């Protein structure tokens, strides 16, 4: 069984995202531990990249701060090795195809497997091109997590049938960022997913309040939150971890 499924075994999953190294690796590590302590079921770790095309200005800023601070892919791998000494919840990387290519795909995915990364999410990888990475992911037992967007339409069933780990359902068109209202007909998307796979699905992009998280997780198997957490980091810097822990606890309580 995929380790990712464990995140969904005890009810709805809360999945926080954080960019590794913003503002520094020590703060990220403290924040992750606070997230887990306060009920996070799966941690999504962003590997900093110079051109994060799916991200809005908030997460772009986090990427820039991390890169300016000297964070590299190798440093992220070392960071995860250290986290895995005491963190047992599933963890996945969110990054871009170029990061994997430039590192060498087999070396990258093999290292993921060795350090305890359970899956990778590549938002710029089209479904039709996933065979670039899928055989290597299968070889090393790392789930290649697929995304379903509002524009996927007649491809939803096809993507769902091949899904691994969990399905990341994108709530809205555009880039990441908090939104006051989510208007996409997500119930219809989830219905097609349910008809084609028993793999859990979680909704992300635009979720920032407990009310939104409750609504999105009532439709799906969980809620993914990134920009709202990065905003707390931008506001509090090195003092952010305790505030992030409080926020995660509030969000988790909302979806139970």
What are the tens digits of pLDDT across the range 209-229? 999 999 999 999 999 999 999
Which position has the token pair 């969990």? 166
Which position has the token pair 């093999």? 110
- Residue 177 is predicted with a pLDDT of 42
Q: Does domain 3-255 bear CATH number 3.20.20.70?
A: yes
- Give pLDDT tens digits for 11-62: 999 999 999 999 999 999 999 999 999 999 999 999 998 876 656 788 888 9
What mean pLDDT comes out for the span 149-154? 82
Planar angle of CA 144, 3, 134, nearest 5 degrees: 20
- Per-residue pLDDT band for 152 (boundaries 50, 70, 90) equals confident
Higher pLDDT, 198 or 2: 198
| DSSP code for 185 | -
What mean pLDDT comes out for the span 111-135? 95
- Per-residue pLDDT band for 176 (boundaries 50, 70, 90) equals very low
How many residues would you count in the chain? 256
Question: What are the domain boundaries of the chain?
Answer: 3-255
Handedness of CA 38, 204, 23, 82 (dihedral sign): positive
What mean pLDDT comes out for the span 229-236? 95
- Residue 184 is predicted with a pLDDT of 64
Report the DSSP pairing between strands 13-19 and 167-170. unpaired
- Residue 185 is predicted with a pLDDT of 82
Q: Is the pLDDT of residue 230 over 80?
A: yes
Q: Is the pLDDT of residue 203 over 70?
A: yes
User: How far apart (Å, rounded) are the C-alpha atoms in residues 167 and 256?
Assistant: 20
Q: Is the full-model pTM beyond 0.85?
A: yes
- Per-residue pLDDT band for 174 (boundaries 50, 70, 90) equals very low
């Amino acid at each position: 069984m995929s380790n990712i499924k464990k995140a969904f075994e005890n009810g709805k999953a809360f999945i926080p995202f954080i960019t590794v190294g913003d503002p520094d690796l020590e703060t990220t590590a403290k924040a992750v531990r606070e997230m887990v302590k306060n009920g996070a079921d799966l941690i999504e770790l962003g590997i900093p990249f110079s051109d994060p095309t799916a991200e809005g200005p908030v997460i772009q800023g986090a990427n820039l701060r991390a890169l300016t601070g000297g964070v590299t892919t190798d440093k992220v791998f070392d960071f995860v090795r250290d986290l895995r000494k005491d963190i047992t919840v599933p963890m996945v990387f969110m990054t871009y195809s170029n990061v994997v290519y430039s590192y060498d795909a087999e070396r990258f995915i093999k290292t993921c497997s060795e350090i305890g990364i359970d899956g990778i999410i590549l938002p710029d990888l089209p479904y039709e091109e996933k065979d670039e990475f899928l055989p290597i992911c299968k070889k090393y037992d790392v789930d290649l997590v697929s995304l379903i967007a509002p524009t996927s339409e007649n491809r939803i069933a096809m993507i769902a049938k091949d899904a691994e780990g969990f399905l990341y359902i994108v709530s809205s068109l555009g880039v990441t960022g908090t939104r006051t209202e989510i208007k996409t007909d997500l119930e219809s998307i989830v219905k097609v997913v349910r008809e084609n796979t028993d793999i859990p699905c979680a909704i992300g992009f635009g979720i920032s309040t407990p009310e939104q998280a409750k609504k999105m997780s009532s439709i799906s198997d969980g809620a993914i939150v990134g920009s709202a957490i990065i905003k707390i980091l931008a506001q509090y810097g090195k003092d952010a971890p305790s505030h992030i822990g409080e926020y995660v606890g509030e969000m988790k309580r909302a979806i139970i």
